[in-house]
Structure 1
Amino acid sequence: MLNRLQESDIKLLRVFYAVASCNGFTAAEPVLRMQRPNISAAIKKLEERLDLVLCHRGRGGFQMTKEGEVVFQETKRIFNSFDNFVFNLKSLHDDYSGHITLVMMAGLPLSYHLAVSKAVKSTMKKFNDIHVNIQTRLYNEVEHVALSGECHLVLSTYDMVKPESVTFHPVEVSCKGRLYCSPSHVLAKYRDVLPDNIKIGDYPAIGISGLSSANYISDDIRMGIQTFSDSYDACLSAIMTGEYVGLLPDYVLTNQAAGLGLVPVGKSLFEFSHELFVMNGKNTRLNPVLRHLIKEISYFIQQVEK
């Protein structure tokens, strides 16, 4: 079993990372510039070093094991940190080349993704030899990745108490939302006004992991949270069962849930407005490249909202 990483282990992990990212040995050949027998030998050696089976390969095709998935995610985190270290080190010498990792909160609207793509294109055009790695994370993970050094910047809403270890750059856009139910839910007939004899707390609700508990209270009325989801997309799926009510951003109705007939309960009941931020850990060096990218992200998202 592996007790300490050696230089040879890093090389083996890079082979595994490429194979897992490409979802197969054959697809990884041009990326690694290695022939399949050599790739297979490297994976086998890594499995021996880790004393784990990382993937199955054969007639059934390539498939990672549960242990392989964990190693893949940890390897991704390590290599992101390596890339960020090199990028930050270069910037100390006014060399603004290398890889930037930008994390976006899962579930943001497509229009924001398109705005980010424009911001990235602008940044790559202004600074030579810059490459941007765009990833997504669940809401309850965004603070961690901002602090951990896994990425340079995070684009996310944030409604918790802001830690001093994270710098928040307001995009000057808010994501508004409210309480929704499916058209088959018993509360769907109370779109505009909720009668006094109807108690929201009596109806099972689904929450979002990481969201401030203040969102589930409105004028001393509390939602009856029975279970939690890890994203707005998962929350939407639970709401559409007709068994739960839940909070959703309004943009979900014009994107993922268009045509599903979701109903706002009590019109403005449990309304929320979560400000959008570009975030970075205090240990991230904000060089001219990152400052330009932050400015461009804010600009293009504001253009979407106009």
Structure 2
Amino acid sequence: MRRESIIPKPVTEYDLRLLRIFVSVVEHGGFAAAENALGITRSTISVHMTNLESRMQLTLCRRGRSGFSLTEEGQMVYHGVIKLFESLEDFSLLVGNLGKDLSGELVIMSSDQLDEKKQLKLATVIEQLNEKAPNLHIVLDGDTLSNIEKQILKDKVHVGILPQYQSVEGLEYLPLSSEPNYLCCGEKHPFFELLDSEIDAKLFATASTIHPGIDLKMDGMNQLRKLNLNAKSYQFDMRKTMILSGKYLGYMPQSYIQQELNRGQIRIIQPSVMTYQFDLSLVRKHSPREPNKVELVMDAFRQVFELYYVV
């Protein structure tokens, strides 16, 4: 007959320590892989896991020659512990936000490399944030579009700088900029020396073209349907590299290729026809966990980029 677990009684700091080790083992896929992350030996991890299972009177995982795996009860405990730790983090954030001075991390992520003008404006935003909240630890980094959207919804990122190709439920959008995307080719491409009038639908249908890697709005989708899409590149700097190879056509905002245009390394093809708008937005969660930090960032962007707020 199974004895009653002692864990449902008041949870001790020791219990929390064992649970953190358990989470690390699960997320690293086993005892050996968790050694470096935890800074303790495999044998010590095994002792802690045995103690946790004894305290819970549950078998949480299987380990042996066949590898590491969670039992059904282990999976339930893992998901429960994640919720527990998130609740503890929420409480810490709540207490932290009650103070006058904002502190902790403020995370801003961008899915695109910004052109020089936008980089300078973003630098001014960072300057203002540092002056208004010097105790904040500002994190400015990049990631994929889908990852940033997910992290904003999970309150892991406060705001994201993203192309507004779709509206995700639970997110709000503040337009930052809008500029045309033009179809381009490099100086080594056969189209480079042709007149726009000489490039017809048949030539477009045979020319290798780069897909931007995301679903576009209707005007962009209509442009791509005309072309032979057999390559993919989301980041503008990588896409520009492929265009410069002379093997591919690709869409680029003019601000990202102005130097290459001036040097005669890239040309724009049929600019009045082969174009669609590239819209960049500042994205936040509708009801963020740390509204004071989010509002601080939004205000700085509104001032520097001279924006008006829309949902």
Aligned: 1:272 with 2:276: yes
Unaligned runs of 5+ in 2: 1-16, 26-34, 47-85
| Aligned position for 1:150 | 156
Deviant stretches of 4+, over 6 Å: 9-12, 81-84, 255-258
How many angstroms apart in 2 are the aligned matches of 1:41 and 1:278? 34
Greater gyration radius: 2
Deviation at 1:205, TM superposition (A): 0.6
2-structure distance, mates of 1:229, 1:48: 46
Deviations 1:250-302 (A, max 9, x none): 12113688746111112233312222211112341463432232122233235
Pair 48,250 (structure 1): closer, same or farther in 2 beyond 3 Å: farther
1:136 alignment partner in structure 2 = 142
Q: Distance in 2 between matches of 1:83 and 1:260?
A: 58
Runs of 5+ in structure 1 lacking a partner? 13-38, 51-80
How far, CA to CA, are the matches of 2:287 and 2:22 in structure 1?
Answer: 28
CA deviation after TM superposition for structure 1 residue 211, in Å: 3.8
User: Who is 1:122 aligned against?
Assistant: 128
Whether the 8 Å CA contact 1:106–1:136 is kept in 2: the answer is yes
1:164 partner letter:
E
Q: Residue 19 of structure 2 corresponds to which residue in structure 1?
A: 6
Q: How many residues align?
A: 241
Task: Verify the 8 A CA contact 1:140 1:209 in the aligned structure 2.
Answer: no
Identify the match of residue 96 of structure 2 among 87, 90, 114.
90
Partner residue of 2:286 out of 282, 286, 289? 282
Shift of 1:91: 2.7
SS in 2 for 1:6: helix
Going from structure 1 to structure 2, the CA distance change for 1:83 and 1:209 (only over 3 Å counts) comes to farther
Give me the CA root mean square deviation: 3.8
Provide the C-alpha distance between the structure 2 equivalents of 1:179 and 1:5, rounded to a whole number of angstroms: 57
Compared CA separation, residues 45 and 181, structure 1 to 2 (3 A): farther
- Secondary structure of 1:186's partner? coil
User: In the alignment, does 2:296 pair up with 1:292?
Assistant: yes
Identity across the alignment (%)? 14
Within 1, Cα distance between the matches of 2:283 and 2:244? 32
Give the alignment partner of residue 45 of structure 1, picking from 36, 41, 44: 41
Judged with a 3 Å threshold, the aligned counterparts in structure 2 of structure 1 residues 7 and 40 are, in CA distance, closer, same or farther, namely closer
Q: SS in structure 1 opposite 2:288?
A: coil
Distance of 1:216 and 1:190 partners within structure 2: 25
Normalising by structure 1, we get a TM-score of 0.65
Aligned to 1:112: 118
In the superposition, the TM-score normalised over structure 2's length comes to: 0.64
Q: 1 CA distance for matches of 2:260 and 2:88?
A: 33
Distance 1:82 1:269 in 2: 53
Q: 1:163: which partner in 2?
A: 168
CA distance in 2, matches of 1:264, 1:47: 63
Instruction: Say if 1:10 and 1:134 are closer, same or farther in 2 by CA, change over 3 A.
Output: farther
